[in-house]
Amino acid sequence: MAEYSPKDLLATLEAAQTGERDPRTCEIVNRIVADLFRTIEELNVQPAEFWAAVKWLNQLGAAQQVGLATAGLGFDRLLDILADQADERAGLATGTPRAIEGPLYVTNAPLSDYEARLDDGTDVGETLVMDGVVYGADGKPLANAIVDVWHADSKGGYSHFDPTQSEFNLRRRLRTDAQGRYRFRSLVPSGYGVPPGSPTEQILDRLGRHGQRPAHIHFLVTGEGQRPLTTQINIPGDAYLQDDFAFATRDGLIVELDPTDRTDDVASLGVTGKHTRVHFDFHLQPA
């Protein structure tokens, strides 16, 4: 009797797709299943290993960490590399480099015109004043652009996900003024580490890796007629700057820190003593 092979099983699986199917879903799922069948066959994956992976995936989902694991396994950066390549082919490879969104963005942060204070005053750390201009694809300053900014606190935690922080702490949307300017007061963030004991940490341990990100600040910049830009800036001097577990550090996104005690121009932000300044402009692409 002829053996029913893995290839036969694949063919049977695909032949069962006789209903009102979504062709794109079929194409992708069939490819992934075929690739995994091959992996299991060629690497002689044992049932105990397979079921351990299923258990891990369930734990990963239950912990809401699928998007954290994808970042750590390089998928998020992969999507950026492919988008960069597409831009290159289209002659659009200018402007501020993109960098991964990550799993910790929250929509609808409080909206302010031009400037805001991001921190709720309860955290320790160095006061940061960051400012800059959003430029449209035409090279001119863009009024009424929205700079949506979010970052970690001194312990590397993000509000909404860290229940000890107040709602929308270190998260704001800033609307640029007529000159395209935005600015905010906050605290210099610390780096992020994946939660200890979590499913994401477990897989990183098995891979002989750490789960640390260097200190960074996220941005989603949008404006009329412009392509939305998701990016991050990195704080220099961090031990993990070139060893990011999410592979997101890029040239052009590492800012300079400017320590100052000048306060006359930041009175509306309530800044009094010594603090750190960062200047960073965003250059958008056409929609």
Residues that bind ligand MBD (CB under 6 A): 68, 71, 100, 102-104, 192, 213, 246, 248
Q: How far apart, in whole angstroms, are the C-alpha atoms of residue 60 and residue 68?
A: 9
CB of 102 to ligand MBD, least distance (A): 3
User: Which residues does 54 contact at the CB level (< 8 Å), separation at least 6?
Assistant: none
Distance CA 76, CA 66 (A): 11
To ligand MBD, the closest distance from the beta carbon of 150 in angstroms equals: 9
Looking at the Cβ atoms of 102 and 136, the one nearer to ligand MBD is 102
Give the nearest distance from C-beta 254 to Fe ion in angstroms.
15
- Residue-wise DSSP of 34-49: HHHHHHHHHTT--HHH
Site for Fe ion in 79-118 (CB under 5 A): 102
CA-CA distances (angstroms) from residue 203 to 66, 72, 200?
12, 10, 5
Supply the minimum distance, in Å, between the C-beta of residue 239 and ligand MBD.
Answer: 16
Nearer to ligand MBD, 100 or 266 (CB): 100
The residue number with the shortest CB distance to ligand MBD is: 102
Q: Select from Fe ion, ligand MBD, none the partner in contact with residue 170, using the beta carbon and a kind-dependent cut-off of 5 to 8 Å.
A: none
Instruction: Give residue for tokens 């002829």.
Output: 2
Distance from C-alpha of 263 to C-alpha of 274, rounded to nearest angstrom: 8
Nearest distance from residue 103's CB to ligand MBD, in Å?
6
Q: Quote the CA–CA distance of 215 and 225 in Å, as a whole number.
A: 31
Q: Which of ligand MBD, Fe ion, none binds 149 (CB below 5-8 Å, type-dependent)?
A: none
Q: Which is nearer to Fe ion, 72 or 102 (CB)?
A: 102
Containing H/E element for 23? helix 23-42
Residues contributing to the site for Fe ion (CB under 5 A): 102
